[in-house]
Amino acid sequence: MDKSKKKKHKTYTRRAFLEGMGGGALGVTVVSRLLGKDSAQAKSEQGELATLAKKRITFIVNGKSVTLDVEPRETLLDVLRNELNLTGAKKTCDRAECGGCTVLLDDKPIYSCQDLAIRANGKRITTVEGLAEGKSLHPVQQAFINKDGYQCGFCTPGFIMASVALLNHNKTPSQEDIKSALSGNLCRCGNYAKMTQAVQDAAGTMRKV
């Protein structure tokens, strides 16, 4: 990907792409988001130095198929936050140290700040926004509310995704299992003790259904 110098692809901006292809292939929210963002200043505004050749990817995000053109260097986190307006996953350290950006890639928890968006091509991504079914919260989400498994809430989406990933493959986790599963995430407010209780409660709820 490094071979492609940005100047060659100067005209292949996000906006040009959108204008060319029409709305069909993209989810409606994505189109409006991108058009909204780009409409005012358009091409002359492009930060040209930063533009690399884009690659088209198609992936399932929270159950919906999404097709997007992304630069190969763009992280999944940046694409989720900036292109898809899914801001639940947070950029806290931007180097795989804190877990604030945790999402599920085909049911496995990953640090989306360290995975390139192009690697999500053909895969399934679940973010914190995609856990609830309609009005009904995921048992992990409900347990975090009941136990007060958060304080400022900034790290919470990451912890919830790590917890969901654990409970998807371990229905009867021990406290040690839970601590291990959450040990890749940092909560600076220090509410781990309540989170581990919440995950235990959620496990109980999930076993009942």
Partner 1 sequence: MAKDQGTGQKTAPEAPKSDFKIIGTAVPRVDGEKIVTGKAVYTHDISFEGMLWGKILRSPHACADIVSVNLDPAKSLPGVKTALQVKEGRVKYLGEQVAAVAAVDEETAEEALKLIQVEYKALPHALSLDKAMEQGAPQVHDSPNVEKLNEYSRGNVDKGLSEAEVTIERTYQTNVEIHHPTETHGSVAMWEEDQLTVWDSTQGVQSVQVGLARALNIPESKVRVVRQYMGGGFGSKLGLNDYTVVAARLAKETGRPVKILLSRKENSMCVGNRPSNVMTIKAGAKRDGTLTAFSLKNYTCGGVGRGDEASEPLIDIYKCPNVKVEEFSVFANTCASRPTRAPGHVQGTFALEGFLEELAAELGMDPLELRKKNYTTRNEGDTKIPFSTKGLDKCYELGAAGIDWQRRNKKPGAGAGRKRRGLGMATQIWWGGGVPGTLADLKLNADGSVEVICGTQDIGTGTRTLIAVVAAETLGLDPQDINVKIGNSDYPWAPGSGGSQTAPSVGPAVRDAALKAAERLKEVAAKKLNIAAADVIVADKKVYDKNKPENALSFKDAAKELRRETVFHGERKEPQEGFAYNTFGAHFAEVEVDTETGKIEVKKVVAVHEIGRVLNKLTAESQVIGGVTQGLSAALFEQRITDESTGTLVNHNLHDYKIATAKDIPEIVPIFVDSVDPRLNNLGNKGLGEPPRIPASAAIANAVYNAIGVHIREIPMTPDKVLRALKRKEERS
- Footprint of partner 1 on 171-200 (CB under 8 A): 178-180, 182-196
Sheet containing strand 124-126, edge to edge, reads 64-70, 55-61, 124-126, 102-105, 108-111
Residues 121-150 that bind partner 1 (CB under 8 A): 127-129, 131-132, 137, 141-142, 144-146, 148, 150
Interface with partner 1 in residues 69-88 (CB under 8 A): 81, 86-88
Residue 102 touching partner 1 (CB under 8 A): no
| Minimum separation from the CB atom of position 164 to partner 1 (A) | 11
Total of chain residues touching partner 1, rule CB under 8 A = 64
Q: Write down the least CB distance from residue 200 to partner 1, Å.
A: 12
d(Cα 204, Cα 178) in Å, to the nearest integer? 13
Question: Binding to partner 1 (CB under 8 A): which residues in 10-49?
Answer: 36-37, 39-41, 45-49
**Token pair listed for 115:** 């995975």
Give, for 59, the enclosing helix (H) or strand (E). strand 55-61
CB of 52 to partner 1, least distance (A): 10
Q: What is the enclosing helix (H) or strand (E) of 58?
A: strand 55-61
- 3 state DSSP class of 75: strand
3-state class (DSSP) for residue 147: helix
Residue 33 CB partners (closer than 8 Å, separation 6+): 83, 84, 85
Give the nearer residue to partner 1 in terms of CB position, either 1 or 50.
50
Q: Which residues bind partner 1 (CB under 8 A)?
A: 36-37, 39-41, 45-50, 81, 86-95, 97-98, 100, 127-129, 131-132, 137, 141-142, 144-146, 148, 150-157, 160, 178-180, 182-196
